[in-house]
Structures are given as C-alpha cells and as structure tokens.
Amino acid sequence: MLKTIFSFDYMAHDRFVAPAREKAQLWRLFVGLIATAGILMICSPLIWQFLYHVMSDEGYRALYEDFETLLLPQSVLVLLFSFGMIWIAVAAVVIGLHRRRPETLIGPPTIAFLQAKFVIVALLLVMGALMALPPYGHDPALLDGLAFAQWLTFLLPALIAVLIQTSAEEVLFRGYIQQQLAARFAHPAVWMVIPSVLFGLAHYSPGTYGGNAWLVVIWASVFGMIAADLTARSGTLGPAIAVHFVTNVSALLLIAPQGEMSGLALYQYPFTANDEAAIRAFLPIDFAVMIVCWLAARLALRR
C-alpha cells in the first residue's frame, strides 16, 4: 500500500494534458495570461455596478466600506463569488486562443467528480480523527464568531462560494497554466514548480501577514505542489479542487483568525493574521495537517 501511495506514476497526466498539445506555443500562454488579467480588470467593476442597482443605498454603503476588512459575511461572500470571473476569463481564453473546450481544463467531468468525492470522504475522516485524538480543545481557547443560527443561514451560499473560489484558482493554476506548460515541457520541474510558485506569489500580502508574508508564500507554493501532484496522479482537477475546498472551508467557515476575512467563520482564533508570533507558531501545525491531507488524498486515489 505504501508503494502505491508514494507512487509518482503520472501516466494519467498525459491524458489530462493531451487537449492542450495542439496549440501549446509559449506565446499563446503568455498572451492568454495577459488576456485573462485584462478580462478580470474590465469585468470586476461590473460586479459593483450590479450590486449598486440591486441593493439598498444603506446596504451597498455598508458592504463597500467593509470590503477592506471583510468582517461582514456578505462581504466575504461577494469576494468569493467574484472568483467566478476567473472561470469566465479562462474559458474565454481557452476557446478564443487555444481553440478547445473549457471542460478540458478539468478532465473528464464524471471521473473528476468521483475522484473529488473519494478525496473529500478521506479528508473528512482525517479531520474527524484529528478532532477525536488528544490533545482536546484549543489553547488558547477559541472565540465565538457568527451566532450558530446566523452561520447556518449563510452556510449553503458560503459552501457554493468557496467551491467557486477554489475551483477557479485550480482551473487557472493547475488547469490552464499547468496543462499548457506540460504540453510544451515534459519535465515536472517546469509544469509543477512554475504554477505553484505563481500560486504562492498570488498569496503575498505583507499588509495582512506582516513579516510572515514570505512564509505564507512558501506555504501556498507547497500547497500548489501538492495540488499539482494530485492533478498529475489523477488526470483531473477533481482531487485538487477537493483538497483546496476542504482546506478553505475549514479556514473560512469553521475557524478563522480574527479580523480580515473572518466574516463567515463560526469560531475565531484569538489572534489576527498580522500577529506575527502567533502565525509563525501556527504555520508548522497547518503545514503538518496539509501533508497529512495530501497523503490521505493519495490513499483515496490508489489504484
């Protein structure tokens, strides 16, 4: 079983990359990324125009003013749902520039769904085991976030929003960029590392994390490598989306640091994201959990 879990047989990745091979020129990838960024810059303001017309003046003003800190659940939902623009942008680029169907970014949909389901079940079992094993409780103690009744009210749209956000990031980094690079370069050092580093750099936020900003970049880059490995192992984005989804549900909807992006959390840690000492102590634990989740996902995908 261990041999199967730690196998780096990436034959399924060849099938995943095949639709990108016909138009794999690097210039297409560069132009595609620039076009994706341009579409996002043009279309993102439309979200606020839409909200302005459908919301009351008071509600819109409160939402707009909170968007810097994302303390309101509505603000976090708007941010997460806005990632759907990445889906639209990448799909437009793939159709217009690469002449292929957007679903090829995911792999066979039925297989992707089944693999995601297996991985989510495995991760839920891991999370349950971690909660059941000592030490029990949190030290220091957690703080209350949303009231439970209010949290339940937001739970379904929040789950949908997290799915949109995580799948959009996977489609961009592990779907589009990884596929196009792998269609041009055979060595995993190219198609695994470059998208993962870009994914890590996208999380660079010194205003949020202070002196830990580069540690968070490293953490996110390692997560990107894990997602790239699962994609190459499975031949679809299903497992990577599943791991990303469960990770972000835990970090955004269950327990979040106080302050920025805490609007949907049921509980909060007694520190903020810019508390450098607390985050530095927390990251190794989070890293260890991430590795355990990766191994659990690989176990779920064993053949």
Q: For position 303, what pLDDT does the model report?
A: 57
pLDDT for position 187: 92
Query: So what's the pLDDT on residue 177?
Result: 98
Q: What is the pLDDT of residue 4?
A: 55
- Length in residues, the chain: 303
Assess contact for 19 and 95: CB atoms under 8 A: no
d(CA 205, CA 279): 14
Share of the chain above pLDDT 70, in %: 95
Tokens representing 93?
């680029």
How far apart are alpha carbons 220 and 236 in whole angstroms?
20
In this prediction, residue 160 carries a pLDDT of: 98
User: What percent of the chain has a predicted confidence (pLDDT) above 90?
Assistant: 77
In the sheet where 267-272 sits, what is the strand order?
143-144, 267-272, 255-258
At 7 the pLDDT is 67
Q: Is pLDDT of 32 > 60? A: yes
Q: Would you state the structure tokens that stand for residue 287, as one six-digit string?
A: 């890293």
* 81 pLDDT more than 60: yes
User: Is it the case that residue 69 has pLDDT exceeding 90?
Assistant: no
195 or 285: which leads in pLDDT: 195
Tens of pLDDT, residues 250-266: 999 999 999 888 999 99
pLDDT-derived band at 70 (thresholds 50, 70, 90) equals confident
* pLDDT single digits (tens) 117-169: 999 999 999 888 877 776 656 667 899 999 999 999 999 999 999 999 999 99
Q: What pLDDT score does 246 carry?
A: 96
Confidence (pLDDT) at 43 = 87
State residue 117's pLDDT score: 96
CB atoms within 10 A of CB 167: 24
Which pTM was predicted?
Answer: 0.93
pLDDT in tens, 6-24: 667 788 999 999 999 999 9
The band of 103, judged by pLDDT with boundaries at 50, 70 and 90, is very high
Query: Rounded distance, CA 163 to CA 165, Å?
Result: 5
Q: Are 230 and 242 in contact (CB under 8 A)?
A: no
Residues 6+ apart with CB under 8 A from 210: 274, 276
Specify the residue for token string 């390692």.
Answer: 222
